[in-house]
Structure formats: structure tokens, C-alpha cells
């Protein structure tokens, strides 16, 4: 039985009844009229595989006119002729759109971060990556859709870091790693941020301020006057051991061998990625004994607000910024101070490099140096401890290059 096609006036004048009903236009198209008065176009068809009856909702009238509904019907019929189910096809498209909407920088950055946290990177590197992602990238552009993000917008957002070029470059580096990750897993076809680094002026690195040796006595008097025991001793311990600021701030009691007077820093906490054993002078041991009286948890130098955490970099940095030595001294600068002094005093340069835990380009020679120079480094560390004691008394002992040679060769 053939179905008479609907007319525009029949569609327009269709009124609600006690029950929902349908007006058929032919070839599966019908106007569904609800008892509430709503009108919508539907298309009924057999599934191309299962042959089960399916219903595809085209849209509401009058947003879809009779002519427009027929055009959609014909497109759906063409899909069926190719073996494609219209409802399944639409659901897939909606899922794709929904997935793209959810693919913002925050979500993919956290997925990428999870992979990094499970990698073989040393813990300090992981902590830095996590800090960059969670404290900078996500707050800055976490809401941006990964499919529509553009270089100009990101460059504009990064402008807030123009006065902090070092952190700006780190953000750019990690952003590119995240975007390349998106390319590799098929979320996007290309990285639109690959060249944003060129939009920022390259600024030369300036050495961190190293305290002039003649100001060391005054600095020690000022620093010894601080009341915050953990803060004060963390820097003194760093100065006495020649390690990097973070390595000292995050020192754990489990790393200290009291009997052998050694501090064994595991590879994952070292910038070089290899274990570093530090001989401890009597002055360094004194600091550890003092901190043991205030022991709270695993960290030797604990946070005043959260004793189960190590002292923060920001807090210790603040002490320098607000003190009389702001711009004159930095925590990291003491390593440069010792390097200069020890070389001038005639100590073996290889022993100094081993004490500073600098990475040797010759891996075999580097391993050899760590074992051969350990006894000599004990002498160097005690020499440093005694030098600090003299400086506290206002005496800066210099030997014009002969003292160090004599001590190391004895």
C-alpha cells in the first residue's frame, strides 16, 4: 500500500490528540505528534545487519521543515545503501566531539605527567616536572582545548613570565613535550606550539651570586642570629658539605651513617643521577647532633608548618631576599665560593670536582675518581669546617696556594 506524501499545510495544522500519533510521509519518514503538542521528524528503517527496526530522530518541527526533513531522509537512505547504520554513525560522531571537548591541556598534561612519574627519571627531576605542570602550565592554559589551541594565544599567556626567563623556558619545554605526546598518541596531527620559543628573547644565564670571601665572617654572624633552627642549620650544613641547596634541604636521617661519618645521597636525589657519598666534618656532625634534638620525621631539616616535610626552597630564598646580603649571596653560590677558594688554596682540582659532585664526561674516570679521592675529600671537608670556625671569629685564613697542597699531600 502506497503512502500519500504529506503537505506543508498538513504538517503545520497537525494538532495533538489524546494519545501520541504519527503522520507518514513515505520511505520511512514520519511526523511524530505528542499529546502535549510537540512535533518531531523521525526516520524508521531496518538495521543494515540485524534487520531490526530502528528509529532515527531528525529534529523538531518547525526547526526542520518538511523539505529539510526529506533531504535528511534521503541522506540516511544513502548511508543505509552503503551498509552504515545512521544511529550508530551519529553516536560515534557525538562521542568524537565529546572526546575532543574533554581533551583540554589539563587532562592530557596529567596523563603525560602520570607516564613521567612512572619512568626511570630521578626523583628530583620528577618533582620539578610535576611542579612545572601543576603550578604553572595547568593554571595558565589548562582550560584550552588541545585541538584548537593556537601559538599566539599561548605566547600571550606566557608573557607574564617575561621577567622570569628561566621558568618561562621550562614551561615552554614541558608544553612541547606534552603536545608531542598528543601527536604520538593520535590526538592531534601536529604540534602548533613547536616554535613558540622563538617568540621570546634569548637571555644569557647569569651566574648566581657567590658571597665574596671577605664578607663570610659577617654573613655567618648574621645567619647564626636566626631563630629558626632547621632553617639556619640547613644552610650551614649545605655550606659545610658543598652540596646543592636541594640536596641539603631534603636530607633524610636514613641517609646519614653516623658511625662512618658519611652522608650517602641516593642517585635519584642527585643532579648527576648517581649516588654521592659525602664525608662529614666534625662541624657537620655537630649540626646533625643538634638537629637530632629536634627530630620530627624523616627529614633532617623540617618545615616549621609541616614537620613531616622538608624546608621549602621558597622560604629559604626569602631569607636571602629580605636580609642584608640580598643580591650578594645565594644558597647555590656557596659552591662557587668553595670552588674558587679551594683551587686558589692549591687543592687537587679533581678532588674539588669530586666533592662538588660534578658529572665527568668520562664515565669510567668518574667512577675511579669517586673511589680514589674519597680519603682526600675527608681532608677537604674538615679543612672547610675549620675554615668556617675561623671565619666565625673574624679570621679568613689564606695560604696563597700552599696550605691546600700540604694538607692533601700529608
Chain-centroid distance, C-alpha 145: 19
Number of independent structural domains in the chain = 3
Partners of 264 in the β-ladder: 277
C-alpha span between 129 and 139 (Å, rounded): 15
Q: Indicate if 332 belongs to the active site.
A: yes
Q: Which of 318, 368, 392, 406 is catalytic?
A: 368
Position 157 in a domain: yes
Closest by alpha carbon to 352, among 362, 363, 344, 343?
343
CATH code (residue 405): 1.10.443.10
307 with 365, same domain: the answer is yes
Taking 50 as the pLDDT cut, the residues of the chain under it are 361, 363-370, 404-410
Of 70, 122, 232, 335, which residue is the catalytic one? 335
Per the residue annotation, which of 47, 90, 332, 403 is the catalytic one? 332
Which of 116, 358, 370, 403 is an active site residue? 358
State the pLDDT at residue 385. 94
Structural domain boundaries, residue 76:
8-93
- Integer-rounded Cα Rg, in Å, for the chain is 35
Catalytic residue among 271, 274, 378, 403: 271
> Catalytic one among 174, 244, 316, 377?
244
**CA pair distance 270, 131, nearest whole angstrom:** 18
**280: nearest Cα among 228, 318, 244, 237:** 237
How much is the pTM? 0.57
End residue of a domain, out of 93, 127, 146: 93
The last residue of one of the domains, among 199, 226, 254, is 199
194 and 60 within one domain:
no
Annotated catalytic residue 358: yes
Residue 191 sits in the same domain as residue 218:
no
User: Which of 38, 69, 93 lies at the terminal end of a domain, its last residue?
Assistant: 93
> Does 100 map to a domain?
no
271 has catalytic annotation? yes
The answer to whether residue 181 is domain-embedded is: yes
Domain for residue 207, yes or no?
A: no
Q: Are residues 163 and 222 in the same domain?
A: no
Q: Are residues 228 and 304 in the same domain?
A: yes
Cell matching residue 40: 518531531
Amino acid at each position: 500500500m502506497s503512502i500519500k506524501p504529506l503537505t506543508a499545510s498538513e504538517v503545520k495544522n497537525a494538532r495533538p490528540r489524546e494519545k501520541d500519533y504519527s503522520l507518514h510521509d513515505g520511505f520511512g519518514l514520519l511526523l511524530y505528534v505528542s499529546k502535549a503538542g510537540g512535533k518531531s521528524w523521525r526516520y524508521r528503517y531496518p538495521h543494515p545487519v540485524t534487520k531490526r527496526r530502528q528509529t532515527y530522530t531528525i529534529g523538531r518541527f518547525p526547526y526542520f521543515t518538511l523539505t529539510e526533513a526529506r533531504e535528511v531522509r534521503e541522506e540516511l537512505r544513502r548511508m543505509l545503501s552503503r551498509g552504515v547504520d545512521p544511529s550508530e554513525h551519529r553516536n560515534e560522531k557525538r562521542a568524537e566531539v565529546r572526546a575532543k571537548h574533554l581533551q583540554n591541556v589539563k587532562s592530557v598534561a596529567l596523563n603525560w605527567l602520570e607516564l613521567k612519574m612512572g619512568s626511570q627519571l630521578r626523583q628530583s627531576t620528577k618533582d620539578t616536572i610535576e611542579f612545572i605542570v601543576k603550578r604553572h602550565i595547568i593554571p595558565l592554559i589548562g582550560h584550552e582545548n588541545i585541538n584548537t589551541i593556537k601559538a599566539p594565544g599561548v605566547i600571550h599567556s606566557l608573557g607574564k613570565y617575561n621577567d622570569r626567563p628561566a621558568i618561562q623556558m621550562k614551561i615552554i619545554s614541558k608544553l612541547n613535550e606534552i603536545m608531542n605526546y598528543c601527536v604520538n598518541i593520535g590526538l592531534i596531527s601536529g604540534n602548533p606550539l613547536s616554535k613558540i620559543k622563538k617568540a621570546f628573547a634569548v637571555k644569557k644565564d647569569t651566574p648566581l651570586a657567590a658571597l665574596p670571601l671577605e664578607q663570610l665572617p659577617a654573613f655567618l654572624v648574621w645567619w647564626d642570629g636566626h631563630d629558626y633552627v632547621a632553617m639556619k642549620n640547613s644552610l650551614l650544613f649545605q655550606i659545610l658539605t658543598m652540596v646543592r641547596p636541594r640536596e641539603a634541604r631534603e636530607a633524610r636521617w636514613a641517609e646519614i651513617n653516623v658511625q662512618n661519618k658519611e652522608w650517602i645521597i641516593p642517585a635519584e636525589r642527585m643532579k648527576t643521577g648517581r649516588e654521592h657519598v659525602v664525608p662529614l666534618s666534625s662541624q657537620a656532625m655537630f649540626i646533625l647532633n643538634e638537629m637530632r634534638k629536634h627530630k620530627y620525621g624523616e627529614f633532617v631539616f623540617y618545615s616549621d608548618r609541616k614537620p613531616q616535610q622538608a624546608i621549602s626552597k621558597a622560604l629559604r630564598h626569602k631569607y636571602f631576599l629580605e636580609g642584608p646580603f640580598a643580591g650578594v649571596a645565594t644558597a647555590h653560590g656557596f659552591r662557587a665560593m668553595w670552588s674558587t677558594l679551594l683551587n686558589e688554596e692549591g687543592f687537587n682540582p679533581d678532588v674539588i670536582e669530586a666533592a662538588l659532585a660534578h658529572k665527568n664526561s668520562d664515565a669510567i674516570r668518574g667512577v675511579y675518581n669517586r673511589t680514589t679521592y674519597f680519603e682526600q675529600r675527608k681532608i677537604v671537608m674538615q679543612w672547610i669546617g675549620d675554615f668556617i670556625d675561623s671565619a666565625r671569629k673574624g679570621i679568613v685564613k689564606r695560604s696563597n696556594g700552599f696550605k691546600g697542597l700540604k694538607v692533601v699531600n700529608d
